[in-house]
Amino acid sequence: MDRILIEGLEVRTVIGIFDWEREIRQIVRLDMEMAWDVRRAAASDDIADTLDYKAVSKRLIAFVEGSSFGLIEALAEHCAAIVMQEFNVVWMRLKLSKPGAVRGSENVAVVIERGCLD
């Protein structure tokens, strides 16, 4: 199966379990790999025949900006559900990162895979 990727999508949101985290907006970064057969779009050269990665990005930006989760695991699960349900993606891998969440580390992240590849 072919795959469409969106990498390094950064969004500011309320995320975290500590009181101070509930009062600020922090950056989260999304990296997505989505199964999509690109042959039809390759033949037609028409956006209507592919997964519109701009539409996916805009939808997730709006959702994440308006959200307020304690855990990156919960945010990742909701983002994957949106992509799969609203854009008819049958399989995806999503990495959701929270840069600087742990002192001394560059990044913490969760990676989830949902759906199945046929």
pLDDT of residue 108: 95
38 contacts 4 by C-beta, under 8 angstroms: yes
pLDDT of residue 102: 83
pLDDT of residue 69: 97
Full residue range of the structural domain in which residue 48 is found: 3-115
**Domains: count for the chain:** 1
Would you call 98 a catalytic residue per the annotation?
A: yes
pTM over 0.85: yes
Segments in the chain below pLDDT 70: none
pLDDT of residue 113: 98
Instruction: Tell me the three-class secondary structure of 40-105, residue by residue.
Output: HHHHHCCHHHCCCHHHHHHHHHHHHHHCEECCHHHHHHHHHHHHHHHHCCCEEEEEEEEECCCCCC
Cβ of 36: how many Cβ atoms within 10 Å? 21
CA dist., res. 91 & res. 35, Å (int): 5
The active-site residue out of 54, 58, 95, 98 is: 98
Rounded to 5 degrees, φ, ψ at 36 are -160, 125
In 3D space, the residue among 77, 29, 32 whose CA is nearest the CA of residue 55 turns out to be 32
Give me the CATH number covering residue 46. Answer: 3.30.1130.10
